[in-house]
Amino acid sequence: MRDYLLTLCITAAVTYLLTGPVRKFAIAVGAMPEIRARDVHREPTPRLGGIAMFFGLCAGLLVADHLDRLNSVFALSNEPRALLSGAALIWLIGVLDDKFEIDALIKLGGQMIAAGVMVMQGLTILWLPIPGIGTVGLTQWQGTLLTVALVVLTINAVNFVDGLDGLAAGMVCLAAAAFFLYAYRIWFGYGIEAAAPATLFAAVLMGMCLGFLPHNMHPARIFMGDSGSMLIGLVLAASAISITGQVDPDALKIFEGSTRRATHAALPVFIPLLLPLTIIAIPMADLVLAIVRRTWNGQSPFAADRGHLHHRLLEIGHSHSRAVLIMYFWSALIAFGTLTYSVHSASMWIMLPIVALSAVGLVLLLLPRFRPRAPRWAESFVPPRYRRRKVAPQAAEEALTAVGAGAGTDAGPAAEGGDAGEWPRVPAGVNGATAIGARSHLPERRKAGTPN
């Protein structure tokens, strides 16, 4: 575990330190597109964050190659080199798209070529665990088609969900964390060395996302762009393919007693990873809904719109940060719920916390305007948006005086088309109670001859 944590930290540190210079480079080369109708940000923001993430990936794999307990992954398997080859190709396509906005069909072709490059180097699905039957071997063309389809679906699912600050990086990080725990259990719990590459890929992917998130949280200073979203989607798909199609469930029968029992023991994660990944079920659902919605409206499946799940959360009243946290919650619930069930599938008590947390998630969805406030003793430990606003009475009176003076001029509500009898609006930062208390002093000030 120590070597994996070191690899994760090195990847995160390199990604974090390079994101700042990459932002300046993106501004210099003009990789700052204008605000589009479907965008939710208000100012042009540089892209190309995938450059820092790619170099973080390279740094993580380079460090792992020099660690005693991880260099066997490179010596006994060609999968790390296959991943790096496919990642470099998809990253180059993403960089070109971030700068020049290339056609969607060209990107799709590039994704298929990147997946084919990984298949040619051995990163492919060899067999499938089928419940009730056992392990079913695949022919070469069947494995190739299934691998390419899974890579393309995962890349586009992550790309589609990259619509809010910090959303894609956070959701993929949660998925990678759940996947890392599962792969680590297969590798060190059952002693199946074929799970070692997937464990390494998941650790590196977590480092890439964690290193980029501080720069990408709302309000984002830089976007990962297609160079980043397609890259982390490919790495996540490679992790799933490595453990799902390379680890034979027959190897588990030593611990489970039979092939059929071994397949059922791995079923809660194996099958959802294939049809497709449960750990990115939310982005995949968003992808399917987007394709159906656009096709139904007579549009191209690749035509961008504002109908994604995160857009709908904003439309019903959730704030930007709250919408992202809700998506985090559901992603973590599905990913870690599946992981927990795969470990204790015989216990039905596992379902009770999952059902309870699902109910909590539904309540959060139905209360878009609920704004939690921390108790006063904890206000110094929480972000400012969760603290109670404190406005001095003198400042409130001065603010209302300015409003009262402006109400009698041409810039008042009546001049803007509003109701002439409407009470002047309270400036931002003044809450209702303070405003009412300040208004009660206005008659006394008028008697004293103080101008409004």
Q: Which residues of 283-309 are buried (b: 16+ CB within 10 A; e: fewer)?
A: bbebbeebeeebeeeeeeeeebeeebb
Model confidence at 228: pLDDT above 90 = yes
Clarify whether residues 273 and 400 are in a common domain.
Answer: no
Clarify whether residues 279 and 402 are in a common domain.
Answer: no
Which residues have CB under 8 Å from 4's CB, separation 6+? 70, 180, 184, 199, 200, 203
- Gap between the Cα atoms of 323 and 361, Å rounded: 12
Per DSSP, the three-state class of 128 is strand
Condensed to tens digits (0 to 9), the pLDDT of residues 254-301 reads 455 555 555 555 554 454 344 445 656 666 677 777 777 777 777 766
> Alpha carbon of 363 to those of 181, 285, 307, 360: distances in Å?
29, 20, 22, 5
Clarify whether residues 128 and 251 are in a common domain.
Answer: yes
DSSP per residue, 231-281: HHHHHHHHHHHHHHHHS-GGGGHHHHSSHHHHHHHHHHHHHHHHSS-GGGH
Query: Is the Cα dihedral 226, 228, 229, 231 positive or negative?
Result: positive
Residue 105 within any structural domain of the chain: yes
How high is the pLDDT of residue 415?
A: 36
Model confidence at 37: pLDDT above 70 = no
Residue 341 within any structural domain of the chain: no
Condensed to tens digits (0 to 9), the pLDDT of residues 64-77 reads 999 988 888 898 88
Clarify whether residues 392 and 251 are in a common domain.
Answer: no
Clarify whether residues 205 and 61 are in a common domain.
Answer: yes
Clarify whether residues 392 and 252 are in a common domain.
Answer: no
Residue 354 within any structural domain of the chain: no
- Residue tagged 């964050």 (tokens): 49
Residue 235 within any structural domain of the chain: yes
How high is the pLDDT of residue 233?
A: 92
The answer to whether 7 and 207 have CB atoms below 8 angstroms apart is yes
Question: Structure pTM?
Answer: 0.72
Residue 340 within any structural domain of the chain: no
Clarify whether residues 116 and 233 are in a common domain.
Answer: yes
**Residue where a domain terminates, one of 231, 258, 284:** 284
Residue 294 within any structural domain of the chain: no
**Residue where a domain terminates, one of 224, 256, 284:** 284
Clarify whether residues 398 and 278 are in a common domain.
Answer: no
Residue 338 within any structural domain of the chain: no
Clarify whether residues 264 and 393 are in a common domain.
Answer: no
How far is Cα of residue 95 from the mean position of the Cα atoms in its chain? 19
Residue scoring higher pLDDT (118 or 281):
118
Clarify whether residues 268 and 401 are in a common domain.
Answer: no
Residue 175 within any structural domain of the chain: yes
Clarify whether residues 28 and 143 are in a common domain.
Answer: yes
Number of Cβ atoms within 10 Å of the Cβ of 41: 16
**Cβ-count burial of 264 within 10 angstroms (0-12 exposed, 13-18 middle, 19+ buried)?**
middle
How high is the pLDDT of residue 16?
A: 96
Condensed to tens digits (0 to 9), the pLDDT of residues 380-433 reads 766 666 666 655 555 555 555 654 554 444 444 333 334 333 344 444 444 444
Number of domains, the chain: 2
Clarify whether residues 428 and 279 are in a common domain.
Answer: no
Residue scoring higher pLDDT (51 or 47):
51
Q: Which residues of 376-395 are buried (b: 16+ CB within 10 A; e: fewer)?
A: eeeeeeeeeeeeeeebeeee
Model confidence at 45: pLDDT above 70 = yes
**Residue where a domain terminates, one of 284, 306, 328:** 284
How far is Cα of residue 260 from the mean position of the Cα atoms in its chain? 35
Which range of residues forms the domain containing residue 451? Answer: 388-406+424-452
336: Cα within 13 Å, side-chain hemisphere: 15
How high is the pLDDT of residue 432?
A: 45
The answer to whether 307 and 293 have CB atoms below 8 angstroms apart is yes
